[in-house]
């Protein structure tokens, strides 16, 4: 069973140095595809390197399968890793690169040959086996790196931003290739990326990290629809979630959050919870795709609206991004259909449905949990 | 206007290329000329050379090579040089590569201090160590021995070798080492299977530089070796220079013999030398 468990895993450089990974708890199930997602410097790569055995663990416990591997060297952890830079040995042919790890483990020559041929067939590398890495394209090199991990048949695959050096088209192809191989092999895979599209499309679950800590763990759509805090809310989603500070007031028809430019009914939260928030400051969030310039497009009466001055219209072809300044220094972005009948410096109202409203504690940024959100488009 | 410019463009290019060819031609004559002169002198007798310094050989005295090799002990000098220089270069290359790898790759207390000391030893002229090295060799019964001279040569060339290789090895991506570790290889195997092959252009560069430097080394050899049977080639050639008579023809023959191994080493490693010198210049 290739279960990987991180129990309060921490990394500190030197006794007084910075803590780059801070008490990370994470349980990765057998055959799961776990994505570690976060911005640069959030500690995701360091966490992966600790799992790989390339970085010493400062404190906490790391288990792979049913054994604690804190003190086990990288070569004995039964893992394979795919690096961002591919890390192919430049003086060896593709075949030798694939076989290098197997030779060290004293596999029989016939078995090495079989595994190399199998991996080459699956990844379309057979015509390239005699070539050196310098004679390969970026995509081919990445497939060799993937093949080198596959031939080992390890318990756990580790990926450290493996698609970052590829162009957009190749990234989509290689992404599909990795997903395909995960389905075929059924192995546990841990994948580090800062790209939310990769995280959303590849992960069984994603673990969002911020400043060395776990911000949220969950299935991609759960994290997207139920972000634990404002960091996750803004990190996941492009453009990032729109946020504004408002005050909760109680009216006859229910609770309402209001600011100078925004007003919305709060229907997903219980009266008891909202009672505690009355006269308190909260942060209201609405995703760009949930904002509508045309009330009728909502299909029902909007729960709220925001008013602002347009500062930019960005036509992207299939859609248009409308940037609106709702308060001095607070900009909201709406993702609208192709044609937007507004001009710059015009005052506009943007409408949104009840399900699109997120509420966060203004002080801590933590989400105020309401009723489970149904798919907003249903 | 554009058409006129396009028509006129080849002329300056012709001149610039012509000028470049002229400069290169003159430089080739400047460097190759003395060598060819030496080559012609090596098959002429000293009397012929004295009569006309620059004349083309009327008779090619190839027997001069046999006389130098057999009668004048050049064979002994040649093998002494080969033993000392090949031994020293082998040790310098291996030790230098290992030290450079350690300094480039491992973080340990005093890493930069060791590097700084090595680097500082390059700055000082090697002659200042002559007296102390002489005394050390005498103390350890290594004076007037090929082993003693080999060890001195190792100490002379090691700092520059480490300095050059450290710079190259430091540019090998860390990911390669991490990948090899995960593939199951230990530090020594990584050094042997990854660092040495990848660093081969730089290693070839230091190998050729060290070989040429030591093959032609005269000062330490003449001071630390007194026995004629243990002379190296540069010291052996010096034996043809008397106070009143210099056997120019035989000196030229001796120099030609001594040049041959340098040319062979250069031909063998030149491609890697160029790759080492241009490493990092183009991606």
Task: Flag whether pLDDT at B170 surpasses 90.
Answer: yes
Counting the structural domains of chain B, the total is 2
Task: Flag whether pLDDT at A338 surpasses 90.
Answer: no
The verdict on B118 and B40 lying in the same domain is no
CB atoms A83 and B182 under 8 Å: no
- Give A86's contacts in chain B (Cβ within 8 Å): 175
Helix (H, G, I), strand (E, B) or coil at B172: coil
- Chain-wide mean pLDDT for chain B? 87
- Chain-wide mean pLDDT for chain A? 91
The verdict on A179 and A273 lying in the same domain is no
Q: Which residue of A has its CA nearest to B199?
A: A91
Higher pLDDT, A355 or A373: A355
C-alpha–C-alpha distance, residues A143 and A172, integer Å = 13
C-alpha–C-alpha distance, residues A284 and A127, integer Å = 56
The verdict on B256 and B124 lying in the same domain is yes
Closest CA to A309 of A295, A296, A322: A322
- Give A144's contacts in chain B (Cβ within 8 Å): none
> What's the start-to-end Cα distance of chain B, in Å?
38
Helix (H, G, I), strand (E, B) or coil at B246: strand
Counting the structural domains of chain A, the total is 2
Q: Which residue has the tokens 């709060």?
A: A266
The count of other CB atoms within 10 Å of the CB of residue B177 is 20
The verdict on A306 and A291 lying in the same domain is yes
Inside any domain, residue B116 = yes
| A9-48: pLDDT as tens digits | 999 998 889 999 999 999 999 999 999 999 999 999 999 9
A135 falls in which pLDDT band (50, 70, 90)? very high
C-alpha–C-alpha distance, residues A72 and A52, integer Å = 10
B231: phi then psi, degrees, rounded to nearest 5: -65, 145
The count of other CB atoms within 10 Å of the CB of residue A109 is 10
C-alpha–C-alpha distance, residues B196 and B199, integer Å = 5
The verdict on B123 and B180 lying in the same domain is yes
B243 falls in which pLDDT band (50, 70, 90)? low
| A72-117: pLDDT as tens digits | 999 999 999 999 999 999 999 999 999 999 999 989 999 999 999 9
The verdict on B156 and B55 lying in the same domain is no
CB atoms B184 and A75 under 8 Å: yes
CB atoms B178 and A104 under 8 Å: no
The residue count of chain A comes to 378
CA distance B185 to chain A (A): 7
C-alpha–C-alpha distance, residues B139 and B100, integer Å = 30
Task: Flag whether pLDDT at A240 surpasses 90.
Answer: yes
Inside any domain, residue B37 = yes
List all residues of chain A from 131 to 150 with a beta carbon under 8 Å from chain B.
Answer: 148
Q: Are A23 and A213 in contact (CB under 8 A)?
A: yes
Does this complex have an ipTM over 0.90? no
Mean pLDDT of A54-76: 95
Q: Which of A223-227, A252-256, A320-324 has the lowest mean pLDDT?
A: A252-256
Q: Looking at residue B169, what is its pLDDT?
A: 94
Mean pLDDT of B62-68: 88
The residues near A137 (Cβ < 8 Å, ≥ 6 apart) are none
Closest CA to B252 of B36, B77, B42, B32: B42
CA distance A100 to chain B (A): 7
CATH number of the domain within which A255 lies = 2.40.50.100
- Residue A190: strand pairing partners: A34, A158
Best of B176, B177, B179 to mutate (most A CBs within 10 Å, chain A): B179
Task: Flag whether pLDDT at A351 surpasses 90.
Answer: yes
CATH number of the domain within which B161 lies = 1.10.3720.10
The count of other CB atoms within 10 Å of the CB of residue A126 is 14
Mean pLDDT of A353-374: 85
| B80-135: pLDDT as tens digits | 999 999 999 999 999 999 999 999 999 888 999 999 988 888 888 888 889 999 99
CB atoms A52 and B182 under 8 Å: yes
Put simply, whether B185 touches A (Cβ < 8 Å) is: yes
Residue ranges with strand state E in B63-153? none
B262 falls in which pLDDT band (50, 70, 90)? confident
Put simply, whether A79 touches B (Cβ < 8 Å) is: yes
Q: Which residue has the tokens 């195997």?
A: B189
The verdict on A173 and A278 lying in the same domain is no
Closest CA to A346 of A321, A309, A313, A312: A309
Burial (Cβ within 10 Å: 0-12, 13-18, ≥19) of residue A283: buried
B281 falls in which pLDDT band (50, 70, 90)? very low
Say if strands A262-265 and A347-352 run parallel, antiparallel, or are unpaired. unpaired
Task: Flag whether pLDDT at A253 surpasses 80.
Answer: no
Enclosing domain of residue A52: 4-232
The verdict on B231 and B273 lying in the same domain is yes
Best of A50, A86, A87 to mutate (most B CBs within 10 Å, chain B): A87
Task: Give the one of B173, B182, B189 whose C-beta lies nearest to A80's C-beta.
Answer: B182
| Torsion sign over Cα A264, A270, A273, A276 | positive
The count of other CB atoms within 10 Å of the CB of residue B65 is 16
Higher pLDDT, A66 or B275: A66
Inside any domain, residue B9 = no
- Give B183's contacts in chain A (Cβ within 8 Å): 75, 100-101, 104
B283 falls in which pLDDT band (50, 70, 90)? very low
The verdict on A156 and A286 lying in the same domain is no
CB atoms A85 and B173 under 8 Å: yes
CA distance B154 to chain A (A): 29
Domain boundary among A171, A206, A232: A232
A1 falls in which pLDDT band (50, 70, 90)? low
A7 falls in which pLDDT band (50, 70, 90)? very high
Q: How many residue pairs bridge chain A and chain B with CB atoms within 8 Å of each other?
A: 54
Helix (H, G, I), strand (E, B) or coil at B55: coil
Put simply, whether B259 touches A (Cβ < 8 Å) is: no
> What's the start-to-end Cα distance of chain A, in Å?
39
Mean pLDDT of B163-172: 93
pLDDT more than 90, % of chain B: 57
Inside any domain, residue A177 = yes
Enclosing domain of residue B56: 15-61
The verdict on A215 and A311 lying in the same domain is no
The verdict on A139 and A243 lying in the same domain is no
C-alpha–C-alpha distance, residues B254 and B68, integer Å = 7
Q: Looking at residue B10, what is its pLDDT?
A: 65
Closest CA to A143 of A121, A168, A166, A125: A125
Domain boundary among B61, B77, B99: B61
Cis peptide before A239 (omega within 30 of 0): yes
- Give B189's contacts in chain A (Cβ within 8 Å): 104
pLDDT more than 70, % of chain A: 97
SS3 track for chain A = CCCEEEEEEEEECCCCCCEEEEEEEEEECCCCEEEEECCCCCCHHHHHHHHHCCCCCCEEEEEECCEECCCCCHHHCCEEEECCCCCCCCCCCHHHHHHHHHHHCCCCHHHHHHHHHHHHHHHCCHHHCCCCHHHCCHHHHHHHHHHHHHHCCCCEEEEECCCCCCCHHHHHHHHHHHHHHHHHHCCEEEEEECCHHHHHHHCCEEEEEECCEEEEEECHHHHHHCCCEHHHHHHCCCCCCEEEEEEEEEECCEEEEECCCEEEECCCCCHHHHHHHCCCEEEEEECHHHCECCHHHHCCCCCEEEEEEEEEEEECCCCEEEEEEEECCEEEEEEECCCCCCCCCCEEEEEECHHHCEEEECCCCEECCCCCCCCCCC
CATH number of the domain within which A154 lies = 3.40.50.300
The verdict on B192 and B242 lying in the same domain is yes
Task: Flag whether pLDDT at B3 surpasses 80.
Answer: no
Q: Are B199 and B94 in contact (CB under 8 A)?
A: no
pLDDT more than 90, % of chain A: 74
Q: Looking at residue B126, what is its pLDDT?
A: 83
The verdict on B47 and B118 lying in the same domain is no
Mean pLDDT of A352-368: 92
C-alpha–C-alpha distance, residues B275 and B265, integer Å = 16
Q: Give the predicted TM-score (pTM) of the model.
A: 0.81
Q: Looking at residue A378, what is its pLDDT?
A: 45
What percent of the residues of chain B are helix, what percent strand, and what percent coil, each to the nearest 5?
80, 0, 20
Q: Which of A294-298, B32-36, B221-225 has the lowest mean pLDDT?
A: A294-298
C-alpha–C-alpha distance, residues A155 and A189, integer Å = 9
């Amino acid at each position: 069973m290739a279960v990987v468990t991180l129990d309060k895993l921490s990394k500190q450089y030197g006794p007084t140095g910075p803590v780059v990974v801070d008490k990370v708890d994470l349980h990765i199930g057998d055959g799961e595809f776990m994505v570690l997602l976060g911005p640069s410097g959030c500690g995701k790569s360091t966490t992966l390197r600790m799992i790989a055995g390339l970085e010493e663990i400062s404190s906490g416990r790391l288990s792979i399968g049913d054994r604690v591997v804190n003190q086990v060297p990288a070569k004995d952890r039964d893992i394979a890793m795919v690096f961002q830079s591919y890390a192919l040995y430049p003086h060896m042919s593709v075949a030798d690169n694939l076989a290098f790890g197997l030779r060290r483990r004293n596999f029989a020559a016939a078995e090495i040959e079989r595994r190399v041929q199998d991996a080459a067939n699956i990844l379309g590398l057979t015509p390239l086996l005699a070539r050196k890495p310098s004679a390969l394209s970026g995509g081919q090199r990445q497939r060799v790196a993937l093949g080198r991990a596959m031939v080992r048949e390890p318990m756990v695959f580790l990926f450290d931003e493996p698609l970052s050096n590829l162009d957009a088209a190749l990234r989509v192809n290689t992404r599909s290739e990795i997903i395909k191989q995960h389905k075929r092999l059924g192995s546990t895979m841990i994948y580090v990326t800062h790209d939310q599209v990769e995280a959303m499309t590849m992960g069984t679950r994603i673990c969002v990290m911020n400043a060395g800590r776990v911000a949220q763990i969950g299935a991609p759509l759960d994290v997207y629809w139920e972000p634990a805090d404002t960091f996750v809310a803004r990190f996941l989603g492009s453009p990032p979630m729109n946020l504004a500070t408002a005050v909760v007031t109680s009216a006859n028809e229910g609770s309402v959050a209001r600011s100078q430019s925004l007003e919305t009914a709060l229907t997903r939260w219980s009266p008891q919870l909202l009672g505690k928030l009355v006269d308190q400051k909260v942060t209201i969030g609405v995703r760009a795709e949930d904002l509508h310039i045309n009330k009728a497009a909502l299909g029902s009466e909007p729960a709220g609206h925001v008013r602002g001055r347009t500062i930019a219209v960005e036509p992207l072809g299939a859609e248009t991004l409308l940037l609106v300044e709702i308060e001095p220094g607070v900009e909201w972005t709406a993702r609208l259909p192709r044609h937007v009948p507004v001009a710059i410096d015009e005052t506009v109202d943007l409408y949104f449905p009840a399900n699109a409203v997120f509420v966060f504690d203004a002080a801590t940024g933590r989400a105020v949990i309401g009723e489970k959100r149904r798919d907003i488009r249903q | 206007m554009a058409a006129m410019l396009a028509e006129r463009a080849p002329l300056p290019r012709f001149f610039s290329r012509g000028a470049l060819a002229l400069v290169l031609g003159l430089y080739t004559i400047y460097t190759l000329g003395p060598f060819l002169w030496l080559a012609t002198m090596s098959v002429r007798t000293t009397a012929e050379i004295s009569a006309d310094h620059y004349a083309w050989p009327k008779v090619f005295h190839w027997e001069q090579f046999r006389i130098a090799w057999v009668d004048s002990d050049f064979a002994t000098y040649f093998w002494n040089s080969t033993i000392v220089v090949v031994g020293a270069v082998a040790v310098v290359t291996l030790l230098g590569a290992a030290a450079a790898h350690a300094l480039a790759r491992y973080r340990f207390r005093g890493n930069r201090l060791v590097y700084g000391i090595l680097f500082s030893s390059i700055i000082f002229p090697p002659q200042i160590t002559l007296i102390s090295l002489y005394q050390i060799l005498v103390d350890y019964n290594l004076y007037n021995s090929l082993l003693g001279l080999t060890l001195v040569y190792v100490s002379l060339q090691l700092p520059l070798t480490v300095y050059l290789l450290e710079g190259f090895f430091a540019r090998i991506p860390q990911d390669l080492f991490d990948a090899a570790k995960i593939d199951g290889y230990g530090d020594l195997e990584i050094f042997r299977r990854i660092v040495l092959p990848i660093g081969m252009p730089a290693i070839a560069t230091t190998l050729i530089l060290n070989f040429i430097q030591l093959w032609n080394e005269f000062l330490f050899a003449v001071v630390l070796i007194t026995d004629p049977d243990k002379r190296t080639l540069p010291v052996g050639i010096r034996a043809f220079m008397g106070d009143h008579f210099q056997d120019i023809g035989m000196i030229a023959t001796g120099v030609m013999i001594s040049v041959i191994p340098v040319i062979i080493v250069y031909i063998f490693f030149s491609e890697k030398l160029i790759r080492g010198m241009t490493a990092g210049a183009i991606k």
